[in-house]
Each structure stands twice: as C-alpha cells, then as structure tokens.
Amino acid sequence: MEQFKKKNLIYQILPLVSVSALILSWIAFSLATGGIIFPGPASVVRRILKTFETPIAGMTIIGHTLISLKRVLTGLFISCVSGISIGILVGSNRYLKATLGSFLEIFRPIPPIAWIPIMIMWFGIGELPKILLIVLGSFFPVMLNTASGISLVNKINLDVGQIFGGSKISILKEIVLPTALPSIFSGIRTSVSCGWTVVLAAEMMGAQQGLGLLVMKGWGINDMALVLGAVIIIAFIGAMFSYLLKRAERLLMPWNR
C-alpha cells in the first residue's frame, strides 16, 4: 500500500516535471542562440503586450484573433449545415450517391491549401475566398462521416419505425440521426481542426488582418517574438476548440461513454 501511494505521487509529479523541463529548455535554447532567432518566453510575452500600445495593421492582437475566429466559425457553420444535409441525402439515396456523391468525390483528393492560389486569382484576398477555402477544407469530413454514419443504421430499426407509422421526417429525427450522431460528431471534430489550419494558411498567403497575417508579418521583418506569440495563441485556440467539442460531445451524447 505504502509503495502504491509512493508510485501514485510520482505519477502526479512527473507531468509537472516534464512541462517545466520543456519551458526551461525553451529558455536555455533562446539564451544559447542569442534570443533573436528563437526568443524566450519573457520576450514573447513582452512582444504580445506591446501590440496593445502599437497596433499592427490598425488592430490589437485581440482584433486579429477575433477576425480569424469569425472567418473560421462562418466557414464551419456553412460546412456543418451543408455537409450534414448533403451527407444525409447521399447516405440515404443511391441515385444521389451515384450523381452528387461522385461529383463531389472529384474534388476531395485536392488538398484545401492547394486551392489557395487559384482562389486568390479568382476572388482576390477578401473575405469570400477565405470563407470558401475554409468550407472546402471542412466540408468533406462532415459530409462523408454523415453519409457513412447513416449507412450504419440498422434496417430493422427503420422497419420498426415504419410499422409504427412514423413519417419520413420523424424516422430521420428519431432513429437515423441519433444513430449517426457519433459519426457526424467525429466528422465535425476533424472539420474544426482542418478549418483552423486552412484559415491560417489562407491568411499567411494573402490577408490584411488575422493571426496568419501576424505570423507572416513577424517573419517578414524578422520579429520572431511576434511569430512565436501568434503561434502560441493559435495553438491555444486550437486546444480550446477541441476541449469545447469534447464537452459538447458528452453533453449531446451522454450514452456514448
């Protein structure tokens, strides 16, 4: 028992030790390289605070963060609505699967980032091409997972629904969607991380605001503290997204674990 307790204590301390080791090696590395190509935590924090006094491109860092968030959330909303509805159509109707499904399948292998240059040629660097790119990057996971989740529905359950006089809509709502929900949700999770990556890539290749712009701007003027600061904010928001989704998943599907 005593030994068991000791072991548990070690397991609780170990994560703290390793995280502090990571931060210490960050500081050591920045000192060893002179602090310019890889600034330490203190100068990164100072750089971020400085953006509140001297805004970049007319905005504080919070403004840039909100712009990126607005873009990604708009794109994700469009993807989820269209992806789930098209997924339901393609997953439940074989004619639509052979036509609409295979039409969409033509575009799937092209990575969303490869669309960026042509989108800029077509639409410039405004909001529309960015939203479109996010939709391109996040639509397929939702659509495909919805379609495959729907095809998992047990035929017997559908028959029962019909025998008890359920209409098409109520069968969809009461039987099909609950069965497909876990699969749809894992599609949404993939979409969110894809969408977040794509919005950065789009902003890095041409934008007037956003976190991706901050990264590029810092890179361009050799201000690595700004680059690292933006990257840390990006990572933090990405982690928040996945945390919130996990919470939402538990709330929506308590039966699933």
User: Taking the CA atoms of the chain, what radius of gyration do you get in angstroms?
Assistant: 23
Rule CB under 8 A: which of 159-188 touch other proteins? none
Minimum Å distance from CB 250 to other proteins?
18
Rule CB under 8 A: which of 88-127 touch other proteins? 94-95, 97-99, 102-103, 106, 109-118, 120-122
Task: Pick the closest to residue 137 from 197, 47, 59 (CA basis).
Answer: 197
Task: Pick the closest to residue 224 from 26, 62, 82, 75 (CA basis).
Answer: 26
Among 45, 66, 181, 231, binds other proteins (CB under 8 A): 231
CB–CB of 87/101 below 8 Å?
Answer: no
Give residue for tokens 């072991």. Answer: 7
Select 114 or 252, whichever has its Cβ closest to other proteins.
114
Task: Pick the closest to residue 146 from 94, 183, 190 (CA basis).
Answer: 183
Among 66, 73, 181, 201, binds other proteins (CB under 8 A): 201
CB–CB of 10/18 below 8 Å?
Answer: no
Using rule CB under 8 A, residue 197 touches other proteins: yes
Q: How many residues does the chain have?
A: 257
How many residues contact other proteins, by CB under 8 A? Answer: 53
Interface contacts to other proteins, rule CB under 8 A: 11, 14-15, 17-19, 22, 37-38, 94-95, 97-99, 102-103, 106, 109-118, 120-122, 193, 196-197, 200-201, 204-205, 215-216, 218-219, 222, 224, 227-228, 230-231, 234-236, 238-239, 242
